[in-house]
Amino acid sequence: MTNKIRLILHVICISIAILVLGCSSPEEQGLALKNVQDIGFETEEDITKQYWKFQDLSEAWNGNVSVNGESKYLGILIFKGTTIEGYPLTNIPMKSASIQNIAVACEEQEVCDYVVEQINLNK
């Protein structure tokens, strides 16, 4: 009898775990480098060490993204499960924008806006 109860408890626990993992939305997990690469971002340099003081920073990259056929500079900061969307990015000395847990830095505001829009469409 005890073995049957243990077996039933294991089956219930496994079922709950599968249900919880299956119901987790990507928004709860945050965006990742792949989300930016999916819109054409090409990484050139890992700059994570330069931003070590940023709390919850997962990774940071310099690279380029194609906007209307032109290669444009793009820097990204990816934070661990932290929503920074709408947070004023005054500590970044360039044009900037954010979406969920990713901050983007660009030379032109139109590029930042384009990147955020494309990530939003592709997530």
What is the pLDDT confidence band of residue 107, given thresholds at 50, 70 and 90?
Answer: very high
Beta pairing, strands 57-67 & 70-79:
antiparallel
Q: CA Rg, the chain, in Å?
A: 19
Domain ranges in the chain? 30-122
How far CA 44 is from CA of 9, 33, 95, in Å, comes to 50, 13, 19
What is the pLDDT confidence band of residue 61, given thresholds at 50, 70 and 90?
Answer: very high
Q: Which residues contact 123 (CB under 8 A, 6 or more apart)?
A: 26, 27, 31, 35
Give the SS3 label for residue 110: helix
For residues 70 and 11, which has the higher predicted lDDT (pLDDT)? 70
Question: What is d(CA 122, CA 37) in angstroms, rounded to the nearest whole number?
Answer: 11
Residue-level pLDDT at 88 = 56
Given a cut of 50, is residue 31 above it in pLDDT? yes
**CB burial of residue 64 (10 Å; 0-12, 13-18, 19+):** middle
What is the pLDDT confidence band of residue 52, given thresholds at 50, 70 and 90?
Answer: confident
Residue-level pLDDT at 90 = 63
pLDDT digits (tens, 9 = 90+) for 81-96: 877 765 556 666 789 8
Residue-level pLDDT at 51 = 84
**CB burial of residue 90 (10 Å; 0-12, 13-18, 19+):** exposed
Given a cut of 80, is residue 20 above it in pLDDT? no
Given a cut of 70, is residue 9 above it in pLDDT? no
